[in-house]
Structure 1
Amino acid sequence: MLNISHNNVSKYLDLKQFKSGRATLHTNHHKLFKRVLLISSVLVIIILFLPWTQNVTSKGLVTTLKPDQRPQTLQSPIPGRIDAWFVQEGDFVKQGDTILKISEIKSDYFDAQLTKRTGDQIKAKSASVEAYQSKVKALKNQYASLQQERKLKLEQAKNKYLQSQLKVESDSIDLEAAKTKAAIAKTQFERTVSLQEQGLKAVKDVEEYRNKLQEAEAKLISQENKWLSAKNEVINAELNISTIKATYGDKLSKAQSDLYTAQSSALDTEAQVSKLENSLANYEKRNSLQYITAPQDGYINKAIKSGIGETFKEGEPLVGIMPSNYELAVEMWVRPIDLPLLHKGEHVQVEFEGWPAIVFSGWPNVSYGTYGAEIVAIENFASNNGMYRVLITRDPDYGPWPKALRVGSGAKTIALLEDVPIWFELWRQINSFPPNFYTPKEQHTSKEKNTKKQ
C-alpha cells in the first residue's frame, strides 16, 4: 500500500472505493501546488516592494533628563564620626531636613568653646588695634607740634641772624666814623705841635690835643672790637640755625619712626584680627557641617555608612538619595557607524522592560506597547564601551510614559530613519551596509531656505 516493494497492490485492489483513496488519488494536486506556489511568489514580490523604515536599534537605561534629578550620594566635606541617624532607608525627606549628625575627630577642633574663645581673642585684638590707632594719632600730633616748633625756632634764629648782620653793618659804620675822628685828632695834634714849635701855640694846647688823639684812638680800638663781636654774633646765629635744623631733624625723624612703627603694629594687629575673624567664620561653618541635611526633596535609598561611632574621611559617601521630582529620560548607546544618522529632535520608539510589547521595527505604526521619544542630546566623545551615548526623552506628541517606571530600569530603543523597500533593506542587511544617511526634514528645509536667500 505504501508502494515500497515492486508488487503493486492497486492491481489487486481498487483504492478509490475507500474515502482516503478518493481524497488522495486525484489528478489535480499538481495544479493546486502550482497555484499555491504562484500566489505565494506574487505575495513575496508584493511584500518585497512594501515600504520599510530603516532604524537603529540599541539598548539603554532609564535615567533623568537633568543632572540634578539623578540619584546622588551625600558626602561630608570634613572627616568625622557618626553620632546619630534621624532617618531610615525609604524615608521621604524635604530640602533642609537633618539626615544624620556627626562629630569631630581632629584634635584641633575638640574644644567645645572654640568659637567663643576665638571671639574673645578678636575682641582683645580689636582693642589693641584701637590702642595703636590712638598712639598713631598722638604721634601724628607730636610730629605736627615738632614741625611747628622747628618752624618758630628757625624764624627766631633767622631774625637773630638778621639782627646780627644789621649790627655788623652798624658797627662797621661806627668803626669808619671812629677812624675818621682818629685821623682828624691826629691831624690836629700834628698841627698843634708844629705851631707850638713855631711859638704860636702853648704847650698846654699840645697836651690837650694829644689827649684828644689818645681818646680817638681808644674809641677806634673799642669800635673795632664791637665790630668783630658783631661778626661773631652773625657766625653764632648761623651756627644756631644749623643746630636747630639738626636737633629738630633728629626729633622729627625719631617721631616719624615711632609713628611708622605704631602704624605697622596697628596694621599687623588688624591683619591678626582679620585672620581670627576668618578662623571664627571657618569654625562656625565647620560646626554647621556637623549636621548632614537633604539638598532637595527625595527618598533615602541606602545608608552607605551605617552604625554609630563609625568614622569616615572627608568626601566619602555617607547616604544615597533619590530626588522626588524628576523628568524621565533614556540613555542609549549607538555604534560609531550609526552616529552620523542621528540628529537632535528625531523620533525614537522605546520599549521598557516589564511592559509587554509587540514590536515591528520596520513598521512602527503597527507596533504595540512602545512609547514615543525624541533625541535631546548626542555625546561628542565615545564612552568606555566604544559607543556613543544618546539621551532621549518623551515626545510630547505621543502618549505619556508609564507612571510606575523607575530610574535604572532597562529599555530598548528604535531610532527611525529613512523609508526604503523591503528588498533594499534585505539586500543591505545581507551585505552589512549601513543605513542610508538621513537628514531630518527640518534641517533639509532650513538648508533650502539658506540656498534661496543666497
Structure 2
Amino acid sequence: MPFADRPLVATDPLTSSFRSFRYVQTPRTGRVLARWLAGLGLLVLLAGFMPWTQNIRSTGTLTTLRPQDRPQTVPSTIAGRIDRWNVREGQAVRKGDTLMTITEIKEKYFDPQLLARTREQLEAKISALEENRAKGAALSSQQDALRTGLQVSLEKARNKVTQTRLKVGSDEADLRAANNDFDIARQQLERQEALYQQGLKSLTELEQRRLKFQESTAKRQSAENKLAASRQELENAQLELSSLAADYQDKLAKSESDRRSTTAYQFDSEGQIAKMRNELANLSIRAGFYHITAPQDGYVVRALKTGLGDIVKEGEAVVTIMPNAPALAAELYVQPMDIPLLSLGRKVRLQFDGWPALVFSGWPGTSFGTFGGRVAVIDNIDSNGRYRILVTPDPDDEPWPKPLRVGSGVYGWALLDDVPIWYELWRQLNGFPPNFVDGSPAKEKSGAAGKSDKKGGSNDEEESK
C-alpha cells in the first residue's frame, strides 16, 4: 500500500480533510527504548540485592600435607664407586628395594676379610683381658697370703721378744746371785788374810779361800756376760719385730703395685675392646651401606648419578623418589591483610591447571570443574611478604581428581560471608576489606547456641510480659 494511502492515526474529521495530516505520525522508538532502559534498570536494581559470596583469591601449587610424602633425594651414606644399577627411571619401588650397589674406594676398607680379622683381634684382646684378670686374682691371693704370713711372723717375733725378756730377767737374777757370792767370797778372803797375818790360819787355807774368790769372780763375770748377751738378744728380737713389719710392708707394696698395674692394664684393655667393638659394629653397618635402598614406597623420578664406575661422594644424592599415594594439599599464598579473615577449617574452592572449569567466584554453587577444600595450615611467619596456607580436600565435597601431580598449578579462593552485590561493588570501589567472619566449627556452634539462647530468653521475657 502506498505511504499516502496509509490510514492516519488521527481520526478527527476536521484533521482528516487536510492532506498534510496524512503524512504526520507519532514516533514509537523512544517509548520502546525508554521501556527497555527502565526494565534493564529495574533488573540491575534487583540484581544488586542478589547474594554474593565474598572470597579471597590466590594462586599456588600442589604439594603434600606430610613432609614424608614430598619428593625426596636418596643420598649415599658413604663414598664409593657405582658398581650396578638395579632400577630405571619411572620404575615403582617398595621400601627396602635396592636401588644401586656401590663398592669401596678407601684403602682402609679394601680388605675383603676385614670384618673377620677385626673379630679375631677382638677375641684375642678379650682372651688377654681374661688372663690378666686371672693374674690380678692371683696377686690378690698373694697379698692375702702375705698379710696372713705377716700376722704369724709378728706373733712369732712377739713371742721371741717375750722369751728373751724372760731370759734377761733370769740372767739378771743369776747376776745378782753371783754378785752376792762374789761379795761373800771377797769378805771371807779379807778375813782369811787377816787371820793368816795373825798366824791363826795356814797358808793352805788362805790359798783355798783365794781360789774360791777367783771362782766367785769368774761366776760373776760369766753372769754379767750372759746378761749382756740376753739383753743383746732382746734388742735383736725387738729389731727383728720392727724390721719384720717393714719387710712384709715392702712385699705388700710391691704386690699392690703389681696388682694396680694389672688393673690398669685391664682398664686399658677394656677400653681397647670397647673401641674394637665399636669399630666392628661400624664396619658391619658400613657393609650394609654398599646397597642403597628405597626409604619408602614410591616411584624413581630421576637418577642424579649416571653410568657405572662413577664416584659417589659421602652424603651425595644419587636418585630422586616420589612417594606413593601422597596426601595432596594446595599450597596457596595470600596477602597479609587477608590473613585475619582466614581460620582453620575455612572452606576453599580450587581450580587445578589442566582441568576444565567454568568459574563464578561470587556464586560457587554455579561453578563447574572446581573442587572443595578446607584450610588445614596457616603459617605464623611470612614468606616474601605473603603468608602460606595449606588446603586439604574437603571430606564433604567431591574428591580431587586422581591424575593430579605434585607441583602443578592451582587457583583458589577462600569463601567468606554472603553479602548483596551492591555492597560488594561499594566495598570494591572504596577499597574496603571483606567482612570478618570466624568460620571455625566451634565458633559456629557456639554462635548458634548463643542465638538460640538469646531467642529463648526473648520468648521468656515475652511470656513474662
Instruction: Assess same fold via TM > 0.5.
Output: yes
Structure 2: distance between partners of 1:125 and 1:26: 126
The verdict on how the C-alpha distance between 1:245 and 1:274 changes in structure 2, with shifts beyond 3 A counting, is same
* Cα contact 2:82–2:311 (8 A) shared by 1: yes
Query: Does the 8 A contact of 2:343 with 2:440 survive in 1?
Result: no
- Is it true that 1:246 corresponds to 2:241 in the alignment? no
For 2:15, the equivalent position in structure 1 comes to none
Per-residue CA deviation, residues 354-392 of structure 1 (Å, 9 max, x unaligned), is 221222222222222211111111111222x33221111
Q: What's 1:75 paired with? A: 75
| C-alpha distance in 2 between matches for 1:215 and 1:41 | 173
1:7 is aligned to none
Please say if residues 54 and 417 of structure 2, whose CA atoms lie closer than 8 Å, have aligned partners that are also in contact. yes
- 1:244 is displaced (CA, Å) by 2.1
Q: Which residue of 2 aligns with 1:317?
A: 317
- Counterpart of 1:403 in structure 2 is 402
Aligned pairs (5 A) from 1:423-442:
423-442=422-441
- Whole-Å separation in 2 of the counterparts to 1:300 and 1:15: 90
Deviates more, 1:131-140 or 1:441-450: 441-450
Mapped partners of 2:5, 2:380: distance in 1: 77
Alignment partner, residue 6 of structure 1:
none
C-alpha displacement of 1:232? 0.9
SS of residue in 2 equivalent to 1:338: helix
- 3-state secondary structure, aligned to 2:165: helix
- Letter matched to residue 31 of structure 2: K
Q: Give the match for residue 387 of structure 1.
A: 386
The alpha carbon displacement at 1:120 in A equals 2.1
Superposed displacement of residue 156, structure 1: 1.9
Whole-angstrom distance in 2 between the partners of 1:252 and 1:334: 85
Residue of structure 2 equivalent to 1:421: 420
Distance between the aligned counterparts of 1:218 and 1:26, measured in 2?
194
TM-superposed deviation, 1:214? 3.7
Say which is worse superposed, 394-403 or 138-147, in terms of deviation: 138-147
Corresponding residue for residue 178 of structure 1: 178
Q: How does 1:197-208 map to 2 (within 5 A)?
A: 208=208
Query: Cα 1:376–1:441, aligned 2, differ >3 Å: closer, same or farther?
Result: closer
Equivalent in the alignment of 1:267: 267
Correspondences of 1:134-153 after superposition (within 5 Å): 134-153=134-153
1:78: how far off? 0.9
Aligned counterparts of 1:431 and 1:106: Cα–Cα separation in 2: 72
- The verdict on how the C-alpha distance between 1:441 and 1:392 changes in structure 2, with shifts beyond 3 A counting, is closer
Residue 9 of structure 1: aligned partner: none
Please say if 1:118 is aligned against 2:118: yes
The aligned counterpart of 2:66 is 66
Greater shift, 139-148 or 284-293, is seen at 139-148
- 1:201 positional shift: 6.7
| Residue pair 2:345, 2:441 contacting (<8 A) in 1 also | no
Deviations 1:70-100 (A, max 9, x none): 2111110111111111111111111111111
Q: What is the CA–CA distance in structure 1 between the aligned matches of 2:212 and 2:444, rounded to whole Å? A: 138
The CA deviation string for residues 315-358 of structure 1, in whole angstroms up to 9 with x for no partner, is 22111111223222111111122122211111111111122122
Q: Structure 2 vs 1, CA of residues 236 and 46 (structure 1 numbering), >3 Å: closer, same or farther?
A: same
CA distance in 1, matches of 2:185, 2:5: 203
* TM-score of the pair, normalised by structure 2: 0.84
When residues 213 and 365 of structure 1 are mapped into structure 2, their CA distance, relative to the original with a 3 A threshold, is: same
Partner Cα separation in structure 1 for residue 266 and residue 388 of structure 2: 61
**Alignment CA distance shift 1:369-1:215 (3 Å):** same
Residues 26 and 104 of structure 1, relative CA distance in 2, 3 Å threshold? farther
TM-score by length of 1: 0.86
Deviations 1:173-202 (A, max 9, x none): 332333333334444555566677778777
Structure 2 residue runs without a partner (length 5+): 8-24, 454-465
Instruction: Deviation per CA, 1:28-57: give whole Å up to 9, x if none.
Output: 322222222222223222222333222111
User: SS at 1:337's partner residue?
Assistant: helix
Q: Indicate the RMSD between aligned Cα atoms, in angstroms.
A: 2.8
Residues in 2 aligned to 1:81 and 1:256: alpha-carbon distance in whole angstroms: 56
| Distance (Å, rounded) in 2 between the aligned partners of 1:305 and 1:147 | 74
Deviation at 1:289, TM superposition (A): 0.6
Give the secondary structure class of the aligned counterpart of 2:307: coil
- Residues 417-452 of structure 1 show CA distances to partners (whole Å, capped at 9, x for unaligned) of 2233322322222233322333225453688899x9
Which string of whole-angstrom CA distances, capped at 9 and with x for unpartnered residues, describes residues 232-267 of structure 1? 112111221232223222222222222222222232
**Which residue of 2 is the match for residue 279 of structure 1?**
279
Percent identity between the two aligned chains: 46
- Matched to 2:378, the amino acid is I
Is 1:156 aligned to residue 156 of structure 2?
yes
1:49 match:
49
State which drifts further: 191-200 or 263-272: 191-200
CA contact (8 A) 2:119 2:280 kept: yes
Looking at structure 2, the residues matched to 338 and 312 of structure 1 have their Cα atoms a distance apart, in angstroms, of: 48
Change (3 A) 1:447 1:192: farther
- Greater displacement, 166-175 / 304-313: 166-175
CA contact (8 A) 2:344 2:440 kept: no
How far, CA to CA, are the matches of 2:52 and 2:188 in structure 1? 158
The CA distance in 2 between the partners of 1:238 and 1:343, in whole Å, is 100
Amino acid in the other structure paired with 2:131: A
Distance 2:119 2:305 in 1: 35
Report the AA paired with residue 44 of structure 2.
V
- Deviating more after overlay: 327-336 vs 169-178: 169-178
Q: 1:3 — aligned with what?
A: none
CA distance in 1, matches of 2:180, 2:85: 121
